[in-house]
Structure 1
Amino acid sequence: MFKKVGNYFVVPLAICVTLYLALKPEASLNYDDYSTNGLDLDYNISKEIAFNEEMSNDDMSYDVSNYELSNPFQSSHIYFPHLGKSYNGFKEALAFKESRGDYFTVNTLGYLGKYQFGAETLKMIGIYNPTQFLYNPELQEKAFLANAERNKWILRKDIKRFEGKKINGVLITESGILAAAHLAGPGSVKKFLRSYGSQNVSDAYGSSVRYYMKKFSGYDTSFVEADRKAKAIL
């Protein structure tokens, strides 16, 4: 008799203890352990990402919002932030075209790093040690921004004059102009724009000013401030 009565108390008691233990940690959680305050959330992608099979090599970009992972728990999958048409999206897409995002590469012509800088361009933004530059990703990021700021100042009048127009079927945008200047220098971009496309310089690998104007059109580069004396300083 007492054994049966005891069972009626034991079961509810076990349930109450279980609920108590399950709910107690919620009240004692330290949410500071999960805060993102102070973390560096400026993503810089250095690996080739997975693309939809329908995309061709010319369409490669960092917009992977439509990419679906069949099993998100498999370790073989790599996750990447959606950068879209932001400044980060602009520089990472350009870096992928230049070097596949590799900070430590040197091409056959001696151009260095993630964004493939030449030694003379580096000197103009205050960098005189190419070896130090090659092995310093932070300096490479600052160099990219400084060079873009300098080019934006040089091309400020051309940006104002030609942005929104079409030349040889290409919609001219500020980001396209800055990308082309990174490829061939601001002087070559001025010649392209002011000749309405008849002077279209290409680099040693066949990439032209027009190609970069088109490929990197439409990014938001308002983050880049025009600065005649921009330098890459750590």
Structure 2
Amino acid sequence: MKRWISFILHLAMIVILTSFGSYSVTKKEFPKVPDNLRVTLETEPTVSSEFDSIRETAIAPPFLGKSYNGFKEALAFKESQGRYQVVNTLGYLGKYQFGRSTLKLMGVYDTDDFLNNASLQERVFEVNVARNKWILRRDIKRFNGKRIRGIEITESGIIAAAHLAGAGNVKKYLRSYGKKDVADAYGTTISYYMKRFGGYDVSEIHQKRNAKV
């Protein structure tokens, strides 16, 4: 009896020791990423445009605040992702997407030269701002600082909307208090540009009648 009890105790001890010896816990440890190497992706509301399909691969313009340079680079990024040699499906050209008729009004007739001349494109944009400021001078004075359908009207918003839809359509929008809110062929509205590009300082560009390059 004693032999059987001793045998059973030894067998039980062997089973217990074997169980503990074969069981182990492996904890996976992942390297900690330093805070300065963490990347946060930011997205913006999409608007119907020809360039939405390449938005994810585009490089955003540098942060320039609410300066005039910040205004024109933000507008250019929306228009063409900031690319000088773009021609869209409707025939609008360059970094700021000018139509041929608008270019002719400002004295530019050679579209090939325009597409390949970055400094000319920047000059045309500046001239167009001066031109639209003159056309809309009374509306800028009358509506600047007011709200139309929840949107604060600013000089830069008015100029951006004129770039989108033309000064005449911006006059109609303002004087109808937002009722005549036209959109371009890709669905972008005057009110969207008013809001999107409001609050920039564009005072360094002065109004000029019949401005030309």
TM-score class, shorter: 0.7 to 0.9
**Separation in 2 of the partners of 1:196 and 1:131?**
40
Match of 1:202 among 170, 183, 193: 183
- In structure 2, give the amino acid aligned to 1:90: F
> 2:142 corresponds to which residue?
161
Structure 1 residue 98 and structure 2 residue 86: aligned?
no
How far has the Cα of 1:102 moved from its partner? 0.4
**Residues 170 and 133 from structure 1, CA distance in 2 versus in 1: closer, same or farther, beyond 3 angstroms?**
same
Q: Identity percentage over the alignment?
A: 63
The SS at the match of 2:183 is coil
**Residues 226 and 52 from structure 1, CA distance in 2 versus in 1: closer, same or farther, beyond 3 angstroms?**
farther
Structure 1 residue 134 and structure 2 residue 115: aligned?
yes
Structure 1 residue 190 and structure 2 residue 171: aligned?
yes
Match of 1:228 among 205, 209, 212: 209
Listed as ranges, the matches of 1:58-69 within 5 Å are 58=46
How far has the Cα of 1:223 moved from its partner? 1.0
> 1:38 corresponds to which residue?
none
Structure 1 residue 176 and structure 2 residue 157: aligned?
yes
**Separation in 1 of the partners of 2:188 and 2:60?**
30
How far has the Cα of 1:89 moved from its partner? 0.2
**Greater Rg, structure 1 or structure 2?**
2
- In structure 1, give the amino acid aligned to 2:82: G
**Separation in 2 of the partners of 1:80 and 1:163?**
27
The SS at the match of 2:210 is coil
**Separation in 1 of the partners of 2:89 and 2:68?**
28
> 2:197 corresponds to which residue?
216
**Residues 147 and 52 from structure 1, CA distance in 2 versus in 1: closer, same or farther, beyond 3 angstroms?**
farther
**Separation in 1 of the partners of 2:42 and 2:61?**
19
**Residues 52 and 211 from structure 1, CA distance in 2 versus in 1: closer, same or farther, beyond 3 angstroms?**
farther
TM-score where L is the length of structure 2: 0.73
Deviations 1:102-137, CA, capped at 9 Å, x for gaps: 000100000000000000000111101111111100
How far has the Cα of 1:194 moved from its partner? 0.0
**Separation in 2 of the partners of 1:80 and 1:108?**
24
Listed as ranges, the matches of 1:108-119 within 5 Å are 108-119=89-100
Q: Which runs of 4+ in 1 moved over 6 A?
A: none
The one of the two structures with greater contact order (alpha-carbon pairs below 8 A, sep at least 6) is 2
Deviations 1:71-121, CA, capped at 9 Å, x for gaps: xxxxxxx99753100000000000000000000010000000000000000
Unaligned runs of 5+ in 1: 1-50, 60-77
**Separation in 2 of the partners of 1:191 and 1:80?**
32
Deviations 1:142-172, CA, capped at 9 Å, x for gaps: 0000001000000000000000000011100
**Contact kept in structure 1, 2:71 and 2:200, CA below 8 Å:** yes
How far has the Cα of 1:53 moved from its partner? 1.8
